[in-house]
């Protein structure tokens, strides 16, 4: 029987707890009842690793200027999905005056001007992330901490039997030892047959490290939302206001009754290939649904209605912004697969529904088309 511990669900360094033999204390959390609970998956402040702005210069990342060129030379037996699309800048209305989650800072609607930029057509896949790891020897934070968070129904009975903790208010989220990007549902799982699925169990810091290696960066929240809207004005989704135009599924989200029954009517109960589902007008796959996507911005819920140009969010904070929702989102519980929706996690948090895609002010030379 699961003992639901009131916690911020900070996963502690397993080596430290094993050495001391002390009981692990947890901080209390309060999670919005209209949420899937993934915003509550946060490591304790005292257990957070250094911010990646420092880590990028740390040799522990095994990334340095001599290795940046490895992204250009990386070869895979799987079809490459690291292509970028040019997005012409312009003005748009960011946010909404009809917020579903006021506490998330979805409003107000405000005029934002965005400069030209590039964005990955796809979320970063397991195959692409594997190239990075093989080239650099990078170790993700989930691997360093020794565990990450997984939705209960995706776990084997054997794995669940060894777990005695869960997120208060969202007991379907379980901390799983040995869980990381290579073992998305724990040590008895792997990514065989899922190399074209988005990499998960990656922290914000991990995402920044990958982007640096690839000669890219994370998109700002404003860039991400501008791209998500695909030139449409005031629409809920990247393709319009109707969830299933022409009775066709356009996004990988939860169908059924959350959190007990996912009917998988869209073809998936977990992640799907990064190439799946129709694109929006900017040719972006899975810009909503499938997995949450990290952005560059620190979390802030107070926004000015004054027009801005290329906003980058506050200079500091505790959480980073994530956008797009995931395969666990449902209108009755976590209606965050809308363009204006947003959520947050600490920079070292990771989960089975959290990934990213890269952006760039310029496209890396190795991705340019040469005659």
Q: Say what the pTM is.
A: 0.87
Asked if residue 230 is part of any domain, the answer here is: yes
Asked if residue 338 is part of any domain, the answer here is: yes
**pLDDT at residue 94 tops 80:** yes
- Report pLDDT for 34: 61
Give the sign of the dihedral formed by CA 44, CA 143, CA 31, CA 238: positive
Residue 199 Cα distances to 23, 35, 176, 180, 210, angstroms: 32, 22, 17, 10, 11
Asked if residue 281 is part of any domain, the answer here is: yes
> How many structural domains does the chain have?
1
Residue with tokens 């796959």: 285
Question: Rounded to whole angstroms, how far apart are CA atoms 27 and 9?
Answer: 7
pLDDT (average), residues 98-102: 97
Asked if residue 352 is part of any domain, the answer here is: yes
**pLDDT at residue 23 tops 90:** no
Asked if residue 201 is part of any domain, the answer here is: yes
Asked if residue 183 is part of any domain, the answer here is: no
Question: For residue 339, what is the domain's CATH number?
Answer: 3.90.1580.10
Asked if residue 154 is part of any domain, the answer here is: no
Say if residues 350 and 11 touch (Cβ distance below 8 Å): no
Asked if residue 11 is part of any domain, the answer here is: no
pLDDT tens for 147-169 read: 999 999 999 999 999 999 998 88
- Report pLDDT for 371: 59
Domain interval for residue 249: 89-138+196-365
């Amino acid at each position: 029987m699961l003992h639901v511990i009131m916690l911020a669900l900070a996963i502690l360094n397993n080596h430290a707890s094993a050495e001391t033999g002390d009981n692990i204390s947890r901080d209390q959390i309060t999670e919005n009842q209209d949420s899937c609970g993934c915003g509550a998956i946060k490591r304790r402040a005292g257990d957070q690793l250094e911010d990646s702005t420092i880590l990028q210069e740390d040799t522990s990342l095994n990334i340095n200027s001599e290795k940046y060129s490895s992204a250009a030379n990386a070869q895979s037996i799987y079809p490459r999905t690291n292509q970028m699309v040019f997005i012409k800048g312009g003005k748009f209305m960011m946010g909404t005056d009809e917020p579903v989650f006021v506490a998330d800072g979805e409003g107000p609607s405000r005029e934002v001007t965005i400069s030209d930029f590039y964005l990955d057509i796809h979320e970063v896949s397991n195959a692409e992330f594997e190239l990075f790891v093989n080239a650099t020897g990078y170790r993700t934070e989930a691997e360093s901490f020794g565990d990450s968070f997984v939705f209960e129904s995706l776990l084997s009975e054997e794995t669940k039997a060894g777990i005695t903790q869960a997120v208060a208010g969202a007991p379907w989220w379980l901390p799983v030892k040995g869980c990381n990007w290579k073992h998305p549902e724990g040590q008895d799982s792997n990514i065989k047959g899922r190399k074209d699925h988005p990499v998960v169990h990656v922290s914000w810091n991990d995402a920044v490290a990958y982007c640096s290696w690839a000669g890219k960066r994370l998109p700002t929240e404003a860039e991400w939302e501008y791209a998500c809207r695909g030139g449409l004005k005031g629409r809920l989704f990247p393709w319009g206001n109707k969830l299933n135009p022409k009775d066709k599924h356009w996004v990988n989200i939860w169908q059924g009754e959350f959190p007990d029954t996912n009917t998988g009517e869209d073809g998936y109960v977990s992640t799907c290939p990064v190439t799946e589902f129709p694109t929006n007008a900017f040719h972006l796959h899975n810009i909503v649904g499938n997995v949450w996507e990290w952005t560059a911005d620190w979390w802030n819920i107070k926004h000015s209605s004054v027009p801005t140009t290329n906003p980058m969010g506050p200079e500091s904070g505790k959480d980073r912004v994530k956008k797009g929702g995931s395969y666990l989102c449902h209108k009755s519980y976590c209606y965050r697969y809308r363009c204006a929706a947003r959520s947050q996690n600490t920079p070292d948090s990771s989960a089975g529904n959290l990934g990213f895609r890269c952006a760039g002010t310029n496209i890396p030379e190795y991705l340019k088309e040469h005659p």
